[in-house]
Amino acid sequence: MAETNTIRARPVKGPPIIQSEVFAMIIFVFADVMFFAGFISAYALVGARAPVGWWPPPGDPALPVAAAGGATVALLLSGAAVFYAGWAARSSLANAVRPLGVALALAVGFLGYQVFEFVRLLGVGFTLQSSAHGGFFYTMVGAHGLHAMSAVAVLAWAMRLVAAGTLSPGAFGAVRLYWYFVVLLWPAIYLTVYL
Amino acid sequence: MIRGGLVLALLAAPSVANACATCMDPREGSRTLLWVTIFLSLLPLGLLASIGSFLWWRARTSLAVVAPSPDLPPLEIR
């Protein structure tokens, strides 16, 4: 009679393919990308329909391309800082505090510039109702600004929990993904509206 | 009666009911509407494909862990 060897084995549930928080954020970002894609497409269509030389309308003030470009660089640098924070957190969560602080400072600077620009443009009569261009400008830039504002609040919350050492990897991943979205969306809006 | 008359009037002059702001592009040769249509049609598909590819890659790279278990019937090897 042949000898019998027995093996008792069962696959054990391993780590999830993706954290729930990150997956939820992916779905949210997906919807938001389509939201802004609609704005950008509408802007392109209205601009294409205008007679040559009439878009933006001649009466509208020139948008501060260089200053907004500087704000764009600050926002991109904050994205790089958050990326570095995620990399640094692999060894220890405490290492992410400083880069998150840098990102937060740059993001607040970006938002401060946006507020300053809105106030200045409103002061010279460029409003939501002054022209279709004005409507698009305040809607698109304002919608992005609201996203940036909420992202700054979330980033500050994450930084506080990172400093306390209590932020879960999934939540940290979701916060970083949201910030990457806000950062990478802005160049698309800048290229569409300002240039 | 009034509703029926309105429908007949619209049938007689269909251009009045043309409410699409982007259907007529005054600049001859402009393909903006075409490009925007292509962009908005392909964008969700591209996003879905990217997310699907990412999840597939994550599933492929995650390790299958095997550990002993007393619950399952033994596998016999002769």
Using a CB-CB cut-off of 8 Å, the residues of chain B touching A4 are: 76-78
Residue of chain B whose Cα is closest to the Cα of A46 = B22
Q: Is the pLDDT of residue A15 over 60?
A: yes
User: Residue A157 has what pLDDT?
Assistant: 96
Report yes or no on B7 lying in a domain. no
Residue B10: its pLDDT value, please?
A: 75
Residue B50 lies in a domain: yes
In a domain, B19, yes or no: no
Question: Considering all CA atoms of chain A, what is the largest pairwise distance in Å, rounded to the nearest integer?
Answer: 99
Q: Could you tell me if residue B76 is inside a domain? A: no
pTM of the model: 0.80
> Is residue B15 included in any domain, yes or no?
no
Q: How far apart are the first and last CA of chain A?
A: 85
B25 has a pLDDT exceeding 60:
no
**Comparing A101 with B29, which gets the higher pLDDT?**
A101
Domain chopping of chain A, boundaries: 20-49+61-193
Q: How far is B6 from chain A (nearest CA, A)?
A: 30
From chain B, pick out residues whose CB is under 8 angstroms from the CB of A12.
Answer: 65-67
Q: Which residues on B lie below 8 Å from A15 (Cβ)?
A: 62
Quick one: DSSP state of residue A72?
Answer: H
* Amino acid B65: pLDDT: 47
Task: Tally the domains of chain B.
Answer: 1
Better-scored residue on pLDDT, B12 or A167 = A167
Q: Coil, helix or strand for B17? A: helix
Give the sign of the dihedral formed by CA A133, CA A72, CA A41, CA A116: negative
Residue B16 lies in a domain: no
Residue B66 — very low, low, confident or very high, per pLDDT cuts 50/70/90? very low
What pLDDT does residue A53 have? 82
Peptide bond into B14 cis (omega under 30): no
Structure tokens at A124: 């010279």
Architecture of domain A20-49+61-193 in this structure: Up-down Bundle (1.20)
Query: Do the Cβ atoms of A26 and B51 come within 8 Å?
Result: yes
In a domain, B47, yes or no: yes
Distance from CA of B66 to the nearest CA of A (A): 5
Residues of chain A that touch chain B, judged by Cβ-Cβ distance less than 8 Å? 2-12, 14-15, 17-18, 26, 30, 33-34, 37-38, 41, 44-45, 47-49, 51-52
Q: Which residue has the tokens 């005054």?
A: B26
Q: Which residue of A has its CA nearest to B34?
A: A45
Q: Residue A57 to residues A12, A52, A120, A132, B36: CA-CA distances in angstroms?
A: 64, 10, 19, 9, 22
Q: What is the pLDDT of residues A31-81, one digit of tens each?
A: 999 999 999 999 998 888 888 888 888 888 999 999 999 999 999 999 999
Any idea what DSSP says for residue A58?
T
The whole domain housing B52 covers 33-60
Residues shown for chain A: 195
- Please tell me the predicted confidence (pLDDT) of residue B12: 80
Question: What pLDDT is recorded for position B76?
Answer: 63
Burial class from Cβ neighbours inside 10 Å (0-12, 13-18, 19+) for residue A82 reads buried
Q: Are A93 and A137 in contact (CB under 8 A)?
A: no
Residue B42 lies in a domain: yes
Q: What is the ipTM of this complex?
A: 0.79
pLDDT at A192 > cutoff 50:
yes
